[in-house]
Amino acid sequence: MERWRFITAGESHGPGLVGIVEGVPAGVPLSREVINEDLARRQKGYGRGGRMAIERDQVEIWGGVRHGHTLGSPVALTVANRDYQNWRESMSPDPGSPDRVVTRPRPGHADLVGGIKYGHRDLRNVLERASARETTMRVATGAVARAFLRSLGVEVYGHVVSIGDVHADPRDWRLEDIRRAEDSPVRVVDEAVAQGMMRAIDAAKESGDTLGGTFEVVAFGLPVGLGSYVQWHRRLEARLGAALLSIPAMKAVEVGTGFDQAERQGSEVHDAIWWDAETGFTRRSNRAGGLEGGITTGMPLKVRVGMKPLSTLMSPLGSFDIESKEPFLATVERSDVTAVPAAVTIGEAMVMHVLADALLEKFGGDSLSEIRSRVHEWERHVRTY
């Protein structure tokens, strides 16, 4: 990301999380309520564990916003960790000897490789930052991107496609359908499969296991022409893939019908081009997921993400202590059975960050009104091409 950038800081049991978003144009409507709405969405979902009962995430805006509108300067956000009161001594930044030292790496986590890479003998120095708690601030900063995109007529929402081996039927859902998934405990549009997903979660919990799944993020209202084919790193699917795979536990990304295309003939995969005098060029199908040659086509942008089962198991796997080299069964740091419904909001955030950057790359501008006028002029050009 070159024009729109964000960075986060903070540990899972530290005082809180910090995020800074740079590149936000002036004049974008933004409030704490808008950000808190997405933070609340991240904490929902059938199969979540005890940490969600502790935290009720609320954002504070420390810079870049005045009287409900962005100023064009960096937007600075904080979210406090309520659980810090129980970790104040252990996570203190002041000099001293830490308690709760961790020397037993958990399989599937960053504990061991992080300790080796950074030379930590207390693996809490790794797990505190590698924790998915960091994604709280991705969602908060993503809400800033949502406010910007929404001001340009772009809406981004996601839904669960599968949990474990329970799948919803693949369809081209409309925006109103996807938003209806917010009422589902597993954030699935096809409510007929929701009960099956919840039964699968209950069975995994009873056996001390965890479940992964897949979710889809769709962006509606994007103009033609975001991204580029001229360099590998400017192709939009490459940027989306990198952003989505940066989320903890994500292992696969596909655009449009993705992996299914590898098993079909070209006539079953590609989207025929259509033209009429009112709308100009368009497509009558969207197997490409709104991207051709690394560039948006004007159709809804669709990406799917595969999430592995959570690494912490109630029936833990074996490991070895880094000091004693003695074997042990891995410790339990949290107890989610699945976080696929919650991961949807994190996926939305990362997609929105990429799209905000791509919009600024294409249209430039320092204020929302300036960018809007450029987008409208471009859309007139596209319709008459």
* CATH assignment at residue 154: 3.60.150.10
Q: Specify the pLDDT at position 279.
A: 86
**Count of CB atoms within 10 A of residue 203's CB?**
13
Print pLDDT tens along the chain (385 aa): 789 999 999 999 999 999 999 999 999 999 999 999 999 999 988 877 655 556 689 999 999 999 999 999 999 999 999 999 999 999 999 998 888 899 999 888 999 999 999 999 999 999 999 999 999 999 999 999 999 999 999 999 999 999 999 999 888 999 999 999 999 999 999 888 999 999 999 999 988 889 999 999 999 999 999 999 999 999 999 999 999 999 999 999 999 999 999 999 998 899 999 999 888 999 989 999 999 999 999 999 999 999 999 887 767 789 999 999 999 987 665 568 999 999 999 999 999 999 999 999 999 999 999 999 999 999 999 999 9
CA distance 168 to 197: 9
Contact (CB, 8 A) for 339 and 47: yes
Q: What are phi and psi of 307, to 5 degrees?
A: -110, 130
Write the Ramachandran bin of 12: left for phi over 0, alpha for psi from -120 to 50, otherwise beta: alpha
Q: Which residue type is seen at 203?
A: A
| Cα distance between residue 190 and residue 327, in whole Å | 45
Any idea what the Cα angle at residue 126 is, between residues 339 and 249, rounded to 5°?
25
Taking alpha carbons only, the member of 255, 247, 256 closest to residue 212 is 247
> Residue 329: what pLDDT?
85
What is the C-alpha separation between 85 and 222, in angstroms, rounded? 44
Residues 190 and 162 sit within 8 Å (Cβ to Cβ): no
What is the tally of structural domains in the chain? 1
Distance, CA of 125 to CA of 101 (rounded, Å): 9
Sheet with 213-220: strands ordered across = 166-167, 155-163, 213-220, 301-307, 250-255
Q: What is the pLDDT of residue 53?
A: 56
**Cα 307 to Cα 177: distance, rounded to the nearest angstrom:** 23
Amino acid at 184: S
- Pairing between β-strand 250-255 and β-strand 301-307 as defined by DSSP bridges: antiparallel
Domain of residue 42 covers 5-383
Contact 188, 194 (CB under 8 A): yes
Three-state SS for 54?
helix
